[in-house]
A = this chain, B = another copy of it.
Amino acid sequence: MCLFLTNFVQYSAMQTQYILEVLGTGFFAISGALAANDKAQPDWFGASFIGFITAIGGGSLRDILLGSYPLVWVNDIFFVYAIIVGVVLASVFFKTLIKLRRTFFLFDTVGIAMFTIVGTEKAMSLGVNPFISALMGMFSAVMGGVIRDVLTNEIPIIFKKEVYATACLVGAVVYLTLDYVGCERNVNFLIAALLIIGIRIVAVKKNLSLPKFIKEKDEI
């Protein structure tokens, strides 16, 4: 009975995680399509294409760097469906989505937290060094956005404005530390995810940013 319960919790956790991953991919597609529209004013195809690449870019890059085939979305059409739904929603409910920026930001942040930890776990499961696994986790979360910015001819926003990738890296390191200490995986997952979400929300609310790389630029 107890075993059954444990299995059920495990199973539900797996199910929940899978659903969140698919949803996260859809949200990334929405944010990609909206961001693309701000900048490049693409046609329908262009916006969909950029949404698509934003959604799959980070995870694909991680898997390519790890040599882990098949890529998640190549193997599971549901991720592609989520992207299509995301792009269509972005077009149809454009005005509403803009007004819902705050709600939207929350979903985006949840997506990033998920992707970071799932990416870190995947690299660990392939026997990669923990520190490099944390980097892979961060890549999963942020590289989609970097590719989106490169495609729309912008300097990637993560290089400048947001305490964003750093939050992912911190979350990944905390996850690995808790895991090393022997913490239960689902608890661990939750703590690290909430940490990433928390850091990002605080950073945006307080308008925090990392120090510039070189401060005394004018003195040189």
Contacts and interface: CB of A to CB of B under 8 A. Distances in A.
Given A67-B69, A70-B67, A46 B160 contact: yes
A188 interface: no
Contacts of A217: 41
Dominant secondary structure of chain A at its interface with chain B: helix
A155 B160 contact: no
| A: interface residue count bin | 35 or more
B77 A158 contact: no
Interface in A40-73: 40-47, 49-50, 60, 64-67, 69-71, 73
Given A155-B152, A158-B46, A220-B95, A77 B132 contact: yes
A43 B212 contact: yes
A179 interface: no
A70 B94 CA distance: 43
A33 interface: yes
18 contacts: A40-B155, A40-B160, A41-B160, A42-B213, A43-B211, A43-B212, A44-B211, A47-B213, A49-B158, A49-B159, A64-B65, A65-B74, A66-B74, A67-B70, A67-B71, A73-B132, A74-B132, A95-B220
Given A46-B158, A49-B165, 5 more contacts: A45-B165, A65-B71, A66-B70, A67-B71, A94-B214
